[in-house]
Amino acid sequence: MDYTIFAVAVFVVALLVFGGVFLIRPRRPGGGADQPTDEGQGATATATAEPEAPEKEAEPAERIDVTEGAEHAPPAEPAAPEIETPPPSAGRLVRLRARLARSQNALGQGLLTLLSSDKLDDDAWDEIEDTLITADIGVTSASQIVENLRTKVKVLGGRTPDEVRGLLREELLAQIGTDTDRTVRTGPHGDRPGVVMVVGVNGTGKTTTTGKLARVLVGDGRSVVLGAADTFRAAAADQLETWGSRVGAPVVRKDEGADPASVAFDAVSRGIEEGADTVIVDTAGRLHTKTGLMDELGKVKRVVEKKSQVDEVLLVLDATTGQNGLRQARVFAEVVNITGIVLTKLDGTAKGGIIVQVQRELGVPVKLVGLGEGPDDLAPFDPEGFVDAVLGDAEED
């Protein structure tokens, strides 16, 4: 009996030892502990499927902590980029005027030719009005311009090209408004930074504008912190980080899907801590129901205001989208108190009249215009510079 028990015990121990060795050995190639080595071996097909599984499982647990932390650490940071010194804002529209002239000149030349024709009959005036409407200036403004021009031309009698240009210039400027305050308020208040919220539908150039505006401010000698509160797409935050790193502006971001208001709050806190002059918060515009949009933008603003007042809410509109852009503008204007408009992609459309229409609709001035994809292709809007470019009076190239 004893021998039987002893024999069974020896057999069990032997089985365990043999089985243990056998079981441990095959795990090595794909096992958790060896994972970094395997990963380093790179992309060769079949073996990669297994090691990836434990890695993915481990990630979310770590990421939750990161979400709560101040910033998202980029995975493998490349060598720090060289910090650029962008040009100041002054004189930018002059530099970009040739580009404006190129896109808007057909409108100006079309109007000047019609106005200079010998016979200014009803058909000619209708054509002038149609040309203005085609340029998205809006029906009300177009008919006002035509009415005023008709009266002035009658009084004038004969018309020299200079006189015609002068009349048209005057009318266009009157519609755009020369005495409007177009200052972008970015200044700090004591020890608190100025806060700018950038809103608008994605694809209009919102993130690009946030980055370009940071460059404008840094070019003017300001220190800037950026908040990547468009958390719908991680790529938007990556994009902003690239903009920020080029001018040495820190970017506060969190994981995709994080609460935009908390990103904005942290960005403003960081701005205060660092004694920055301005915090620019890029928000998401992807919510196509008005209630969702209202809730989100309202919350971002309220939360930011716990830390500092919001000085500017800039609405970014794509000039090439015409009536669609105007519809977007109306929705945003209903949900948030817009203080200025940034009209992007003016280099890509002849319909610069949208400036007049959007200002008239929203009662808010165009403060900045985007004139290209280059990093410094954002300029403070200047009505005279714009109209001179439309009328083909661009001296610089």
Would you say 93 and 381 are in contact if contact means Cβ atoms under 8 Å apart?
yes
- 199 sits near ligand GTP (criterion: CB under 6 A): no
Rounded Cα distance between 383 and 176, Å, is 7
Tell whether residue 244 is a contact of ligand GTP (CB under 6 A).
Answer: no
Q: Is 20 flagged in the annotation as binding?
A: no
The verdict on 230 binding ligand GTP (CB under 6 A) reads yes
Is position 351 an interface residue for ligand GTP (rule: CB under 6 A)? no
Residue 92 host element (H or E) = helix 92-95
> Helix, strand or coil for residue 196?
strand
Q: Binding ligand GTP by CB under 6 A: which of 311, 312, 347, 376?
A: 347
217 touches 224 (CB < 8 A): yes
- Do 342 and 318 touch, CB atoms closer than 8 A? no
Residue 345 interacting with ligand GTP (CB under 6 A): yes
| Residue number with CB closer to ligand GTP (373 or 384) | 373
Q: How far apart are CA 307 and CA 326, in angstroms?
A: 32
Using the rule CB under 6 A, which residue among 31, 86, 322, 348 binds ligand GTP? 348
Q: Is 337 annotated as a binding residue?
A: no
Distances (CA, A) of 284 to 11, 209, 313: 68, 13, 13
Return the residue of 186, 207, 278, 339 that touches ligand GTP, per CB under 6 A: 207
Which CB atom, from 116 or from 202, has the smaller least distance to ligand GTP? 202
Please report whether residue 177 would count as binding ligand GTP according to CB under 6 A.
Answer: no
Q: What are the Cα distances from residue 240, in Å, to 4, 47, 150?
A: 76, 36, 50
Ligand-binding annotation for 194, yes or no, is: no
Q: Is 375 in the site for ligand GTP (CB under 6 A)?
A: no
Please give the C-alpha separations between residue 63 and each of 67, 72, 131, 162, in angstroms, as whole numbers.
6, 9, 56, 66
Place of tokens 């004038």: 156
208 near ligand GTP, rule: CB under 6 A: yes
Question: Which residue among 100, 107, 236, 366 contacts ligand GTP (CB under 6 A)?
Answer: 236
Q: In the stretch 291-330, what mask flags binding to ligand GTP with x, by CB under 6 A?
A: ----------------------------------------
Smallest gap from residue 161 Cβ to ligand GTP (A): 32
CB atoms within 10 A of CB 13: 10
Our finding on whether 204 is near ligand GTP (CB under 6 A) is yes
Annotated ligand binding at 201? The verdict is: yes
The sheet that has 251-252: what strands, in order across it?
Answer: 251-252, 224-229, 278-283, 194-199, 312-318, 340-344, 366-370, 378-380
The residue among 239 and 321 lying less far from ligand GTP, judged by its C-beta, is: 239
Q: Please tell me whether residue 277 binds ligand GTP under the rule CB under 6 A.
A: no
Our CA dihedral for 210, 211, 214, 215, rounded to 10 degrees, sits at -140
Considering the complex, what minimum distance in angstroms separates the CB of residue 285 from ligand GTP?
7
User: Would you say 167 or 371 has its CB closer to ligand GTP?
Assistant: 371
178 is in an annotated binding site: no
Among 344, 349, 357, 359, binds ligand GTP (CB under 6 A): 344
Site residue total, ligand GTP (CB under 6 A): 19
User: At its nearest, how many Å lie between ligand GTP and the CB of residue 105?
Assistant: 17
Output the six-digit token pair for 114.
């019609």
Backbone angles phi, psi at 224, to 5 degrees: -130, 140
Calculate Rg over the CA atoms of the chain.
Answer: 30
Q: Out of 273, 334, 373, 396, name the contact with ligand GTP by CB under 6 A.
A: 373
Q: Is 340 in the site for ligand GTP (CB under 6 A)?
A: no
Q: Is 105 annotated as a binding residue?
A: no
- The span from the CA of 201 to the CA of 315, in Å, is 9
| b/e per residue 159-173 (b: at least 16 CB within 10 A) | beeebbbebbbebbe
* 202 is a contact residue toward ligand GTP (CB under 6 A): yes
Decide: is 349 part of the binding site for ligand GTP (CB under 6 A). no
How does 53-89 read in b/e, with b if 16+ C-beta sit within 10 Å?
Answer: eeeeeeeeeeeeeeeeeeebeeeeeeeeeeeeebeeb
Q: Residues annotated as binding site?
A: 200-207, 282-286, 344-347
Residues of this chain that bind ligand GTP (CB under 6 A): 202-208, 230, 236, 239, 344-345, 347-348, 370-373, 377
Q: Residues annotated as binding site for GTP?
A: 200-207, 282-286, 344-347
